[in-house]
């Protein structure tokens, strides 16, 4: 079955980016000329998804504003001959559908995903954490395929040095990784101490989940950090259904902190047809 919906949890307060996030949600901060959330949306669209479910907070109305159709602005840009940017604005919500749901009480990632239940319905769906940017849609597309062939949930993973695992969800493989980078999973643990981590495969914020996960989310009790953890709902799924990890082979940027955000902005700008030349020249002078 085709995965149609992508859930993007975007209700966080962005405390690591204050004072910038006092007025501008982190998801709208620009990577070059593009809001970070649009890069996540483009990744989802590139994997065949056409319904974006943004889990926002009522204290971040700018996110809704970004999705609103603004015909007057589009017309004004066209009149000035700026057809390219007019088309980019016109495509927001035209070529894909957007639903905004709210998580006004920050109780953890599991809770945030649970807030999307009604919007997603009873079918497999993707979750994309906006703190992680991928170089392209290849990982998500492959994960969709693995979900369709196994009938079970799938997580995107990366191998990291063992001393970094305690910042992430970590999976326990039940057999070795295959040639396509697919790993059968028997268990998952959220932010384990290094000496208790079942492997060095970490979750990198990309999920394709079967809808039974919503029942597991409703039964969650507080886990790591006192929060309702998505990883704890996934471990229930892994204990009774096929569950897979897919090793990411694409670039990954952790935009959850200001330095990582700058690294991502520079990497994306260096790939941009108009920005890369001037930026390279400037960087060479430093
Ligand atoms: C979340 C997830 C964690 C995952 C990480 C990826 O943690 O709970 O399993 O590895 O995202 O970025 P957070 O970074 O929100 O603490």
> What is the secondary structure of the chain as a DSSP string?
----EEEEE-----GGGTTGGGTS-GGGSEETTEEHHHHHHHHHHHTT--EEEEEE-TT-HHHHHHHS--HHHHHHHHHTT-HHHHHHHHHTTTSSEEEEEE--S---HHHHHHTTHHHH-SS-EEEE-TTEEESSSHHHHHHHHHHHHHSSEEEEEEE--GGGGGGSEEEEESS---TTSEEEEEEEEES--GGG-S-SEEEEEEEEE-TTHHHHHHT----GGGS--HHHHHHHHHHHS-EEEEE--S-EEETTSHHHHHHHHHHHHHHSTTTHHHHHHHHHH-
Q: What's the pLDDT tens digit per position in 110-119?
A: 999 999 999 9
Pocket test for ligand 1, best of 203, 209, 234, 256 (most atoms within 8 A of CB): 203
Q: Which residues surround ligand 1 with Cβ inside 6 Å?
A: 109, 129, 131-132, 168-169, 190, 202-205, 229-231
* Domain that residue 174 falls in: 5-284
| Residue 151, pLDDT above cutoff 80 | yes
Calculate how far, in angstroms, residue 11's C-alpha sits from the geometric centre of ligand 1.
15
CA 204 to ligand 1: nearest atom: 6
Ligand 1 centre and the CA of 164: distance in Å?
A: 12
Mean pLDDT taken over the chain: 96
Which CATH number characterizes residue 166's domain? Answer: 3.90.550.10
What is the whole-number distance in angstroms between the Cα of residue 205 and the centre of ligand 1?
6
Tally the domains of the chain: 1
> Is the pLDDT at 95 greater than 90, yes or no?
no
The distance from CA 225 to its chain's CA centroid, rounded to whole angstroms, is 21
pLDDT at 33: 92
Q: Which atom of ligand 1 is nearest to the CA of 231?
A: 9
**Whether the model pTM is above 0.85:** yes
């Amino acid at each position: 079955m085709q995965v149609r919906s992508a859930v993007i949890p975007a209700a966080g307060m962005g405390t690591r980016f204050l004072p910038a996030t006092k007025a501008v949600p982190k998801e709208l901060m620009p990577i070059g000329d593009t809001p970070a959330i649009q890069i996540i949306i483009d990744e989802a669209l590139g994997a065949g998804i056409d319904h974006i479910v943004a889990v926002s907070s009522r204290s971040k109305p700018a996110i809704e504003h970004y999705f609103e159709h603004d015909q007057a602005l589009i017309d004004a840009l066209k009149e000035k001959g700026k057809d390219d940017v007019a088309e980019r604005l016109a495509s927001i919500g035209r070529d894909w559908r957007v639903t905004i749901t709210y998580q006004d009480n920050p109780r953890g990632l599991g809770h945030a995903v649970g807030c999307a239940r009604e919007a997603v319905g009873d079918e497999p769906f993707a979750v994309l954490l906006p703190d992680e940017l991928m170089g392209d849609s290849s990982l998500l597309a492959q994960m969709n395929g693995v979900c369709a062939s196994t009938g079970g949930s799938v997580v995107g993973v990366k191998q990291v040095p063992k001393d970094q695992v305690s910042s992430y969800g970590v999976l326990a493989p039940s057999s070795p990784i295959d040639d396509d980078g697919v790993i059968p999973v028997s268990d998952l643990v959220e932010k384990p101490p290094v000496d208790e981590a079942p492997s060095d495969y970490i979750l990198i914020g990309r999920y394709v989940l079967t809808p039974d996960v919503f029942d597991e989310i409703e039964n969650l009790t507080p886990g790591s950090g006192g929060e309702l953890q998505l990883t704890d709902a996934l471990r229930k799924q892994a204990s009774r259904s096929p569950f897979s990890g897919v090793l990411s082979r694409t670039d990954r940027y952790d935009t959850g902190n200001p330095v990582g955000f700058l690294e991502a902005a520079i990497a994306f700008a260096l790939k941009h047809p108009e920005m890369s030349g001037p930026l390279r020249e400037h960087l060479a002078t430093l």
